[in-house]
Amino acid sequence: MTDQAYNFAYLDEATKRMIRRALLKGLAIPGYQVPFASREMPMPYGWGTGGVQVTAACLTPEDTLKVIDQGADDTTNAVSIRKFFERTADVATTEATAEATVIQTRHRIPEVPLTEGQILVYQVPIPEPLRFLEPRESETRKMHALSEYGLMHVKLYEDIARHGAIATSYAYPVQVEGHYVMDPSPIPKFDNPKLGDNAAIQLFGAGREQRIYALPPYTRVVSLDFEDHPFEPTKADHSCDLCGAGDTYLDEVITDDQGSRMFVCSDTNYCVTRQAEAEAGAAQ
């Protein structure tokens, strides 16, 4: 049931138009952070207000929504956001990645390749990839304007000098269509290769920082690296202990106080589906 006290998908129409215009400019300038007048949402900043506003501006009554946090549909914040849209937009929801038309995510890209009918909405905490190198917005904006990314390369190179490897494992910076350097949100770098050449539309919302950016489908996205230190997507060197998958991103679960560990798929829907398929196969 839609909550009649609020407009469809919560936001008023003027706010949605403002966000929609920002989204379109984001698509027209891939990887560029479009400022938008983020609104105060009924959930705290830092808990997905940017993603929620983008989703609210995109949802149609016919959509099927999936919400994940850390790859899982049942994490508390994912549950909370999914309930919010069930209540305010009365949309169908699903846990099955393939059935969803809009997927809001925090920190993961689903394992199943996305398709042309899908929109992936990322919750972004710090949209500025240069923020920790230069805290000033006035300065980073100039760097983007001039495509001056030397500072980022210096940082990555210092990592190599110090650790022998690039010491960034999530929110690993990418360059979009050879121009803007972009923060992919805190996804593990394992997911970075899925950013580029993706069939789905990818939208990024940072509520507190008031920025929206986007990747159209089939956009060229390159993880920053060096010839002698090429980018490497990494995961735990195990297979999933539940479904046996050897090519998925894994959570490490501590199972007792003796140091025992299990490794399980972070994408719970993918894992559950594989387990069900295996059971069905065994039953036949």
Partner 1 sequence: MAHDTVLAAGFADPARDAARAFRLCLNAMARPGTLQDVAPIAAPAPLSAAAATVLLTLADSTTPLFIGTSHDTPEVRAWIAFHTGAPLVDRAQAVFAVGSWAALGPTEAFAQGTAEYPDRSTTLIVERSALTPANARLTGPGIQHAHELRLPDPAAFQANAALFPLGVDFYFTAGTQLAALPRTTKVEAL
Partner 2 sequence: MYVATKGGERAIDAAHQWLAEERRGDPAIPELSVDQIREQMTLAVNRVMAEGSLYDPDLAGLAIKQARGDLIEAVFLLRAYRTTLPRFGASEPVDTGEMRITRRISATFKDAPGGQILGPTFDYTHRLLDFKLMAEGETPTAQQKPSDPVDAPHILSLLDRDGLMEPLEQTDATPADLTREPMSMPADRPLRLQALARGDEGFVLSMAYSTQRGYGRTHAFVGELRIGTCDVEMFVPELGFAIEIGEIELTECETVNQFTGSKTQPPQFTRGYGLVMGQSERKAISVSLVDRALRWDELGEDNVGAPAQDTEFVLYHCDNIQATGFLEHIKLPHYVDFQSELELIRKIRRAAETPMQEAAE
Strands 261-265, 250-254: pairing is antiparallel
Q: Does 228 bind partner 2 (CB under 8 A)?
A: no
Interface residue with partner 2, options 138, 150, 228, 281 (CB under 8 A): 138
Q: For residue 32, state whether it binds partner 1 (rule: CB under 8 A).
A: yes
Tell me if 283 contacts partner 1 by CB under 8 A: no
3-state secondary structure of 261: strand
Among 28, 154, 167, 278, binds partner 2 (CB under 8 A): 167
Answer for which of 32, 36, 84, 122 binds partner 2 (CB under 8 A) is: 36
Q: How many CB atoms lie within 10 A of CB 130?
A: 22
- Whole-angstrom distance, CA of residue 91 vs CA of residue 253: 34
Contacts of 38 (CB under 8 A, 6+ apart): 49, 50, 53, 206, 207, 208, 209, 210
Count residues near partner 2 (CB under 8 A): 68
Residue 193 burial by Cβ neighbours in a 10 Å radius (0-12, 13-18, 19+) = middle
Stretch that binds partner 2, among 143-151, 175-183, 220-228, 232-240 (CB under 8 A): 232-240
Q: Are 172 and 192 in contact (CB under 8 A)?
A: yes
Selected range binding partner 1 among 8-16, 78-86, 128-136, 187-195, rule: CB under 8 A: 8-16
- Contact between 136 and partner 1 by CB under 8 A: the answer reads no
Angle between helices 49-58 and 76-89 (to 10 degrees): 30
Q: Does 218 bind partner 1 (CB under 8 A)?
A: yes
- Name the residues that contact partner 2, by CB under 8 A: 6, 10, 12, 15, 35-42, 44-47, 49, 69-72, 74-80, 83, 106-108, 125, 135-138, 163-165, 167, 169-171, 186-190, 208, 210-211, 234-236, 241-242, 249-253, 255, 262, 264, 266, 268, 271
